[in-house]
Structure 1
Amino acid sequence: MTHAYDIAVVGAGMVGAALATGLAQEGFTVALIDRAPAPEFTPEAAPDIRVSALSKGSERYLEQLGAWPQITRMRATPYRRLAVWDQTPHPLSNLIPRKFTEVEFDATSLGTSHLGHIVENSVTQRALWQAAEANTGVTFFTGHEVSALTENQDDVTLTLDNNTRLAAALVIGADGGQSRIRDLAGIGVTRDQYAQQAMVLSVRYQGPVEDITWQGFFPSGPRAFLPLHSAGADHPGETWASLVWYDAPEQLAQLKALSDSDLLAAVQKAFPTDLPLLTHLDRKASFPIARQHANHYFSGRVVLAGDSAHTINPLAGQGVNLGFQDAQCLQAVLKEARRANDDLANPDRLARYERQRRPANRRMMLTMDLFYHLFSNRIPPLHLARNLGLGAARALPFARNRVARYAMGIDDQLPAVLSQLASRIPGLNQL
């Protein structure tokens, strides 16, 4: 027996679950497939080690889907300020004190209450699953993955690993950077591995919940602080935070081999002095980082969204925000197709989705790589140039706020000066 749906979404992570919910709200019948069970949430438990900085634009989208109230009822930490500075130790640093090159973005200057929220990925995913479950148009197929994909003239047949067969007019691959659907559809990718890896630490610190997230840039990579929620009555005066340390794989391997107490001491010493006093390490993990872009966003009756289509350097935590922008764009295109009584896999309509999203995703890739190349070195001229650039950003609030508005998803155009700089970095134009 084959189960028939309008659309099959493969991958029920944050982007896939959002797409399934949004499409069902538009009246589509949706099969949502994921090999993992529903994410759990326990209020008393330590936070998930994986967190994201959700932009204001993403908040609005999650509100439309009915997921944002669930997120705030669980856990979400607003941040009102974002600071970046160059932490490279170098003789030239003495010529330019940090206070002249540190750039701080704040919500007040942008005319908003906050810049975004730091939210655990499992919390966002859980809320989206609840929103999807509340819509009768979504049918879950969990605990199984797609083993085969067969394209027919009018639909696609997916065979799951338990031999369940699903038919849909369109399949959306939202199953991550190692997308099985992308491979089955024969869509290739361009991939560039960075020399760095990222180590993520879930920690408690002594002090109240902070309203700022910051990154100090070292030659080996940035070290970042993301505030979370209070640690509760069991740990009075303490707060949870997520720390990210970018460095060479061998350096991170040495750090991960330390005892928890020694690692905490190493982090306290190596991070900027802005880091509060750490009191406890709950979890640690490291992962490679890469820039990856699908050669095409669709093929036949298969279309990609989120990390299946693109992954970027996680410097500013923009990956899931880009994925949510993909979801909103694809929903709009498919809604128009339905209204026109058109085939959901009409290549002209799917090409419209790609024309809108590929340049926007590429711009954010270029921006993140621009920061990576400018800051991850000790070359004196570049060191001076980036400090002068940060100083200029501090002195030119209009330009600074343009960058912030772009990063927050308020503006969809990268400021011209950054576009010009990014276009001159070797290899980036092949994305």
Structure 2
Amino acid sequence: MTQAFDIVVVGAGMVGAALATGLGQNGFSVALIDRSPPPAFSPDTAPDIRVSALSAGSERYLQSLGAWDHILGMRATPYKRLAVWDETRFPLQNLVPRKLAEVQFDATELGAHHLGHIVENSVTQQALWQTADACPHVTLFHGHGVASLAQSGDTATVTLDDGRELLASLVVGCDGAQSRIRDVAGIGTTRNQYDQQAMVISVRYQGPVEDITWQGFHPSGPRAFLPLHSAGPEHAGESWGSLVWYDSPEELARLKSLDDSTLMSEIQSSFPASLPLLTHIDSKASFPIARQHAKQYHSGRVVLAGDSAHTINPLAGQGVNLGFQDAQALQFALKEAKRAGDDLADPKWLTLYEQKRRPANRRMMLTMDLFYHLFSNRIPPVHLLRNLGLGAARALPFARNRVARYAMGIDEELPAVVRQITSRIPGLNQL
């Protein structure tokens, strides 16, 4: 059986499902393929261990797709404050008052109601599957993978593992960091594996739902808290939260081997004092972290978006927000190609998309790397330097808030002076 579409999107995660929905709403016929069954949600279940900090910009995009109301109808936790501080203790720290080594961003100071929402990945994905399924121009192929991909002069042929063939002008790889579509298209990557790994822990804690997310930086890596929703009447006075602990693979393996009671004690003594009192650990998992960037975003009739094109250090939780920005830029380029009557795989339009997104993704990669290397060491002069840097950020609220507005997606562009600085940093073009 053979079916023809304008575009085939491989991978129905958050970015792929959003892109397919947006393209379908713009009149393209779209096939959306994923090996997994439709995501499920029950309000009575514990939260998904995978959560994301969706920025205000991502929220606007999801609203435009019609998915945001579905998300709010399930679970989403707004946060109004974000705090960052240095937890390293050294003699030189006496030169800098403790309070000066802490920076807090507040939605009120940024002229916003909130900075973003903490949302379970499965909730965002299900909301986007609902919008995709409701769009008459999108056809979902779930429970099936791609067996092969072939390109001819004017058509790409995607063969599913059940033998069905899908013909399209363009194939979009949204199938993650280990993208098979990227490999089949012959697109290479540059990759940097970090020494640290990240451990994510779903917990309940005593107290109401918090409106702040924070990261305390240790030489072994940051330890972060992300607030989630109320634990409900069955756990009165308690709320759910997500913790992230960065450390060496050996240390995280030791932590994962502990029983829940011992692990809770270790968390409570090792995390900053701002952590509420924990009452329960629901689940935990660890994963390696790496910076990876495709050497090009398109080849022939294949184009990449989201984690297939780039992955970054997840220090600030910007990965999915970058992916949604990719989706918006690619939608715009393809809409312009259609309006001009051009082939959707015309390099002119795919290059326009890459020229828009590659520099922005590189800037975020570089920023996360600078944070990683600046905070993940014990050298006293560097420790003093980063404390002074945090102090300067605290003392210059206008510049700090302008950068924060960009990072949260409130503003579309970085301040001009910051763009000029990042454009001059050696090695940026090699990322």
TM over 0.5: yes
SS state of the match for residue 194, structure 2? Answer: strand
* Distance change (3 Å), C-alpha of 1:84 and 1:159: same
* Distance change (3 Å), C-alpha of 1:423 and 1:272: farther
Distance 1:340 1:96 in 2: 59
Query: 1:275 corresponds to which residue?
Result: 275
Residues 238-268 of structure 1: CA deviation (Å, up to 9, x unaligned): 0000000000000000010000110011000
SS state of the match for residue 6, structure 2? Answer: strand
Is residue 2:16 matched to residue 1:16? yes
Distance 1:200 1:182 in 2: 28
Query: 1:229 corresponds to which residue?
Result: 229
- Shift of residue 160 of structure 1? 1.0
Where does the alignment leave 5 or more consecutive residues of structure 1 unmatched?
none
Where does the alignment leave 5 or more consecutive residues of structure 2 unmatched?
none
- Work out whether residues 363 and 414 of structure 1, in 8 Å CA contact, stay in contact via their aligned partners in 2: no
Query: 2:125 corresponds to which residue?
Result: 125
Residues 273-314 of structure 1: CA deviation (Å, up to 9, x unaligned): 000000000000000000000000000000000000000000
How many matched pairs? 430
Identity among equivalent positions (%) equals: 73
* Distance change (3 Å), C-alpha of 1:415 and 1:193: farther
Query: 1:310 corresponds to which residue?
Result: 310
Distance 1:349 1:106 in 2: 39
* Distance change (3 Å), C-alpha of 1:44 and 1:61: same
Query: 2:199 corresponds to which residue?
Result: 199
Residues 27-74 of structure 1: CA deviation (Å, up to 9, x unaligned): 000000000011110000000000000000000000000000000010
Query: 1:3 corresponds to which residue?
Result: 3
Distance 2:188 2:107 in 1: 40
- Shift of residue 429 of structure 1? 4.6
- Shift of residue 162 of structure 1? 1.1
Query: 1:35 corresponds to which residue?
Result: 35
* Distance change (3 Å), C-alpha of 1:422 and 1:241: farther
- Work out whether residues 370 and 421 of structure 1, in 8 Å CA contact, stay in contact via their aligned partners in 2: no
Is residue 2:379 matched to residue 1:379? yes
* Distance change (3 Å), C-alpha of 1:400 and 1:61: same
Distance 1:411 1:378 in 2: 36
Distance 1:161 1:32 in 2: 14
Q: Matches of residues 288-299 of structure 1 in structure 2 within 5 Å?
A: 288-299=288-299
- Shift of residue 96 of structure 1? 2.1
- Shift of residue 17 of structure 1? 0.2
Distance 1:231 1:188 in 2: 45
- Work out whether residues 79 and 211 of structure 1, in 8 Å CA contact, stay in contact via their aligned partners in 2: yes
* Distance change (3 Å), C-alpha of 1:421 and 1:327: closer
- Work out whether residues 403 and 414 of structure 2, in 8 Å CA contact, stay in contact via their aligned partners in 1: no
Is residue 2:252 matched to residue 1:252? yes
- Shift of residue 95 of structure 1? 2.9
SS state of the match for residue 109, structure 1? Answer: coil
- Work out whether residues 33 and 142 of structure 1, in 8 Å CA contact, stay in contact via their aligned partners in 2: yes
CA RMSD in angstroms, aligned pairs only = 1.3
- Work out whether residues 367 and 418 of structure 1, in 8 Å CA contact, stay in contact via their aligned partners in 2: no
Q: Which amino acid aligns with 2:232?
A: G
- Shift of residue 173 of structure 1? 0.3
SS state of the match for residue 275, structure 1? Answer: coil
* Distance change (3 Å), C-alpha of 1:422 and 1:286: farther
SS state of the match for residue 127, structure 2? Answer: helix
Distance 1:221 1:394 in 2: 22
Q: Matches of residues 7-406 of structure 1 in structure 2 within 5 Å?
A: 7-406=7-406
SS state of the match for residue 234, structure 1? Answer: helix
Distance 2:288 2:272 in 1: 23
- Shift of residue 416 of structure 1? 4.0
Distance 2:161 2:355 in 1: 34
Moved more, 177-186 or 91-100: 91-100
- Shift of residue 164 of structure 1? 1.1
Residues 168-219 of structure 1: CA deviation (Å, up to 9, x unaligned): 0000000000001000100000000000000000000000000000000000
- Work out whether residues 100 and 394 of structure 2, in 8 Å CA contact, stay in contact via their aligned partners in 1: yes
SS state of the match for residue 374, structure 2? Answer: helix
Residues 390-431 of structure 1: CA deviation (Å, up to 9, x unaligned): 001111101111221121122423674587479657x65521
* Distance change (3 Å), C-alpha of 1:319 and 1:113: same
* Distance change (3 Å), C-alpha of 1:246 and 1:87: same
- Work out whether residues 360 and 412 of structure 1, in 8 Å CA contact, stay in contact via their aligned partners in 2: no
Q: Which amino acid aligns with 1:335?
A: K
- Shift of residue 98 of structure 1? 2.2
